[in-house]
Homo-oligomer: A and B are copies of this chain.
């Protein structure tokens, strides 16, 4: 009974320890897959980087393939949560669109290796890879944007237009800003930058409106 007591003494349960080990392994795996590529990555390098033993890796994930699937599933889960948070924000459609862009951008920025690995798999050959439905991300983001756009048109907040075109304009801000984070030579846009770009597309790039307002 010594060990549980000492764990309780530092405020951690066995479950907390398990979760920490799992998290460290996932971060190490994303990093090694990103640097070496999935095929060339070794379990040995992942456990060394995580500072955790092989049996713990096999206990949590079963195999290298299990780790890859877990990275993708975990990414999809966090993505879904981030989008849901933005949708339930209070405020105007414009404010919730900003929250949505912020959430997705922050998630990408905080998980660059995992997101790069997902992109490499998405653009690479499918052969020899575990089945993973990459449309999951699109199927979460697209209806969220559409819902905001339709609401904005219904209340008169947004201009009347093809909803898909408005969605594409908003999607473009997310794509353009996250691209900069994933590119080692990119110039990070930052949260303030996203808000400025969104203000521009909501108010219009053309000067005419500006003059009318002032």
Binding site for B on A (CB under 8 A): 34-37, 39-40, 94, 116-117, 119-120, 123-125, 127, 134-135, 138, 152, 156-162, 164-166, 168-177, 179-180, 182-183, 185-187, 189, 193, 196-197, 200-207, 209-210, 212
Closest to A173 in B: B172
Residues on B with C-beta less than 8 A from A180 are 168
* Bound Cα distance A22, B94 (Å): 51
For the complex of A and B, list the 6 residue pairs with the smallest distance between their C-beta atoms, beginning with the closest: A204-B204, A172-B176, A172-B172, A37-B125, A120-B123, A119-B123
* Bound Cα distance A120, B121 (Å): 7
Interface of A is mostly: helix
B169 with A200: CB separation less than 8 A: yes
Q: Known contacts being A135-B185, A175-B176, is A160 close to B210, with CB within 8 Å?
A: yes
B37 with A124: CB separation less than 8 A: yes
